[in-house]
Structure 1
Amino acid sequence: MTPSIEVKELSIFVGKQCLVESLSLRLMPGMPLTILGQTGSGKSLLAQAIMGLLPDEMTLKGEILYEGQPLLTLPKAKRQALWGRALAMLPQEPWHALDPVMKSQQQVAEVFELVGGLEEEQAQEKASQALTEMGLAPAKDKIPSQLSGGMAQRLAFLAATAAGGDLILADEPTKGLDYSRRDQIVALLQSRLVDGSLLTITHDVDVARQLGGELIVMCQGQVVEQGDAATILAHPQADYTRQLLAAEPSSWNKVSARTQSSAEPIVTLEKVALSRGGNRLFSDLSFQLHAGEILGIVGDSGTGKSSLGDLLLGHLQPDQGRIRFAERYKRHQLLKLYQDPPAAFAPHIPLGRLLHEVINLHGLDAAQIPRLMARLKLSEGLLSRTALEVSGGELQRIALLRILLLKPVLLFADEPTSRLDLISAQRIMELLVEIAREEGCALVLVSHDPILVEKVCDQVIRIAQPI
């Protein structure tokens, strides 16, 4: 049987730096292949190389064969003709794949019509059905900026797979999704194996477990372990794989309780209610948040977790109730760590310049950058790149660095580990807790992972489905 995709001794370079070293794999029809590894390990570069989407400054060595035919020597037009019809890619960042001014249903209908060849009316019917099955029917007339991160991820999945490509390259397809939606995406990916092939790139060990099949574990651009997924995850041989499994939140130690203080709370919510788009998100919500305290917010996508953050940061006003701060803080002391960091960075400006603009605007100490880079395990070379040229996890840590420069009083962290591998996620959460405790910063942590929240938070609020 001919492999759907065969990669032979593939290496990827930026300048003289090797980002992926001598990667070889065979993707067989009907057999899932998952690449698991740390953020920035080169996993996503493989998908980009297959699709022909690597940045111009990157170079390749090795071969990539699609159904036995060389891909790298195909003319650009012929390679792009495979997109959607033969090769379907689910991108790591849904915002990069969606038209920012097009309504959700139309995004999917256009694929059915322009790539799948359906008549307009039939395309609209199929798009409506697909959105309903994915739990997105209420969002059919909304544009991407009106969707939660999880909703945008599901919409990007529908748009990418609507044309029915036989080979799916799924790059972090479940990040930012609650457990039920994650399992739904995994089931949809598995359903494509009946007639096609599936290559999934993820840092989520549970996704790798569910998909089964073959598994490749990568670390720093190199393959450290390769073989049957169930065998590797049950009996890992490589030190890195063992470290990865040991970093699952269920294995974390419970964070020590905050030292009680008689000081006035930084913020108090009293019987707060909020509606958006005519729908009530939550009501009668009350809590206090003190300096150094960590509050966890859990709930499915679309329940209003991010909207609660907008209330706390002063971007929205409640329909009912009151939000009271202990004092009038400066605007840059109430900050958000975004679920989708690309939305927080200008895409074509070097990250170092963006950091220095913040430093100049607020009169901050530029000497703090190298210290924070080291603390966040970031290479200083990243500062010469743009937001489009780094991994999602690296960009999230750059976003955290920018926030730490501003010494926040209240930090709303919206899914801060959704783009990080388990080891990096554990380190970032330890760092966030340490900063909250040491700096007296109140931390509001949004997460779809109830185990993580229980491990690190002093109090937890669960928001139910919208009424």
Structure 2
Amino acid sequence: MKIVEQVSEVHQFIHKNKENAKEKALKDLEDVSLKEFSNSYPFEISGGMCQRTTIAITHAFNSQVLLADEPTKGLDKELCKQVSKRLNKEVEENRLLFVITHDIDIAKNIKGNLGIIVDGELIEYGKSEELFLNPINEYTKRLFQSQSSLWDVKKPDSMNEELIEVKNLNKEYGKNSLFKNLNFKLRKGEITSVVGVSGSGKSTLGDILLGVKTPTSGEIIKSKSFDILKFQKIYQQPPSAFLPNQILEEGFKDLVKLHHLSMKKVYEYLKKVNLEKGLLKRKPHEVSGGELQRMAIIKVLLLKPAFIFADEATSRLDSISQQEVIYLLVDIVKKEKLSLLLVTHDLEIAQKISNNIVYLK
């Protein structure tokens, strides 16, 4: 179904307003800057745009209680501000708003009370403004100090050995041009970040470099020193990397057996990303999104890749875990001399860790 139809259904069937359903749906999409994409299908728009569509659908319900579970995941900072403004408006319209987020900025921007939870326990609670000014708990202090603007990390040193060369790359969908005439090189031992607003083609670019999507025109020249297995992806949606009904440990054992590796290495990586060994006894849906994302990163690192495409690899993580994972990836690039292509909405992260940045408009 096209996204405008999905929003229209709410007005048509919940509010019994068949005559003006589409008109109202277009207004809801306009409020989240998606009116021009109203006739798109979900698979034709980015993850961030899909996220905004769900906000439009939820807003259309006009319910008294609104639960927003990671509402800014996959969105650039400007859109995060728009979402925060929209959520504050829900409160002004007399709704009860309950937000779950890893994003410290959205916690600052949304008025009201703030609670900090660690291991299922509410460790600190109070007015948002007061808590940011005077946190008491040590974890809360660490959380607030782990924002990317405060990170102290050294960029990797390039080896000047080319792994991938991109020449005059173009990608079009129908009459729409996603990007054109892209020219850049990816070298061993370097981090290249791709930065741009939601829907600008960041994920598509990475998939083209991996070879899972084809460009409209242009050339991708890859080093012949590595087979296809050495080109790996960390997905934006971590469930994409796992079988849904398989215990995580069984999946890792299959990987270890297939590629003649060692479970000892799995346990070492678990420790590096602060995950308990006991989590391996669970299925993917029985751990949090952040925990599963770190598991997905471990799966990729076990294969000792030459190139990693990390598609919003830390978007589901809290700022402490995000810092730990980014530091781990930087350390891996330095030690293993691989090439990392990082898709991110956070320009501060890109500027701190990247040797090169590709900006997509």
Fold conserved between structures, TM > 0.5: yes
Aligned residue runs from structure 1 range 386-397, under 5 A:
386-397=283-294
2:116 is aligned to 217
Q: Name the one with the larger helix percent.
A: 2
2:72 is aligned to 174
Q: Give the counterpart of 2:150 among 251, 255, 265.
A: 251
- For 1:129, the aligned partner's letter is K
1:119-164: CA deviation from partner (whole Å, max 9, x where unpaired): 2x42222222222332223433333333211011111122223211
**Residues 385 and 142 of structure 1: is their aligned pair in 2 closer, same or farther, counting only changes over 3 Å?**
farther
Q: Give the counterpart of 2:141 among 242, 248, 256.
A: 242
- For 2:243, the aligned partner's letter is A
Q: Give the counterpart of 1:266 among 159, 163, 184.
A: 163
Could you list the runs of 5+ residues in structure 1 that have no partner in the other structure? 1-101
How many Å separate the matches in 1 of 2:284 and 2:58?
A: 23
How many Å separate the matches in 1 of 2:220 and 2:289?
A: 33
Residue aligned with 2:167, SS: strand
Tell me the TM-score normalised to structure 2 length: 0.94
Residue aligned with 1:216, SS: strand
1:459 equivalent in alignment to 2:347: no
**Residues 267 and 217 of structure 1: is their aligned pair in 2 closer, same or farther, counting only changes over 3 Å?**
same
- For 1:282, the aligned partner's letter is F
1:217-244: CA deviation from partner (whole Å, max 9, x where unpaired): 1222222221111111122111111101
1:409 is aligned to 306
2:201 is aligned to 304
Aligned residue runs from structure 1 range 151-190, under 5 A:
151-190=49-88
How many Å separate the matches in 2 of 1:361 and 1:327?
A: 23
1:207 equivalent in alignment to 2:106: yes
How many Å separate the matches in 2 of 1:380 and 1:268?
A: 40
Aligned residue runs from structure 1 range 315-326, under 5 A:
315-326=212-223
Kept in 2: contact 1:116–1:162 (CA 8 A): no
How many Å separate the matches in 2 of 1:330 and 1:322?
A: 18
2:259 is aligned to 362
**Residues 151 and 375 of structure 1: is their aligned pair in 2 closer, same or farther, counting only changes over 3 Å?**
same
How many Å separate the matches in 2 of 1:380 and 1:146?
A: 38
Q: Give the counterpart of 1:439 among 336, 344, 353.
A: 336
Kept in 2: contact 1:333–1:407 (CA 8 A): yes
Give identity over the alignment, percent.
37
Residue aligned with 2:169, SS: strand
1:344 equivalent in alignment to 2:241: yes
1:108 is aligned to 7
Could you list the runs of 5+ residues in structure 2 that have no partner in the other structure? none
How many Å separate the matches in 1 of 2:44 and 2:146?
A: 34
1:63 is aligned to none
2:185 is aligned to 288
1:394-428: CA deviation from partner (whole Å, max 9, x where unpaired): 11101101111111111011111111111110000
1:14 is aligned to none
Count the aligned residue pairs: 360
How many Å separate the matches in 1 of 2:263 and 2:173?
A: 40
How many Å separate the matches in 1 of 2:10 and 2:225?
A: 50
Kept in 2: contact 1:149–1:340 (CA 8 A): no
Tell me the TM-score normalised to structure 1 length: 0.74
- For 1:207, the aligned partner's letter is I
How many Å separate the matches in 1 of 2:207 and 2:34?
A: 22
How many Å separate the matches in 2 of 1:141 and 1:359?
A: 45
1:21 is aligned to none
2:23 is aligned to 125
- For 1:392, the aligned partner's letter is G
- For 2:27, the aligned partner's letter is Q
1:226-282: CA deviation from partner (whole Å, max 9, x where unpaired): 111111112211111110111101101142441x435x3011112212112431111
Q: What is the alpha-carbon root mean square deviation over aligned residues?
A: 1.7
- For 1:349, the aligned partner's letter is Q
1:227 is aligned to 126
How many Å separate the matches in 1 of 2:174 and 2:243?
A: 28
Structure with larger Rg:
1
1:20-65: CA deviation from partner (whole Å, max 9, x where unpaired): xxxxxxxxxxxxxxxxxxxxxxxxxxxxxxxxxxxxxxxxxxxxxx
Kept in 2: contact 1:255–1:457 (CA 8 A): no
**Residues 342 and 138 of structure 1: is their aligned pair in 2 closer, same or farther, counting only changes over 3 Å?**
farther
1:377 equivalent in alignment to 2:274: yes
1:431-455: CA deviation from partner (whole Å, max 9, x where unpaired): 0001111111100111111111111
1:346-394: CA deviation from partner (whole Å, max 9, x where unpaired): 3232222222333344343333221221122112222222222211101
Q: Give the counterpart of 2:42 among 134, 144, 154.
A: 144
1:155-208: CA deviation from partner (whole Å, max 9, x where unpaired): 112222321111111111111101121111111111111221111111111111
- For 1:183, the aligned partner's letter is K
1:283-338: CA deviation from partner (whole Å, max 9, x where unpaired): 12111111110001110011010011011101123223211112153222111111
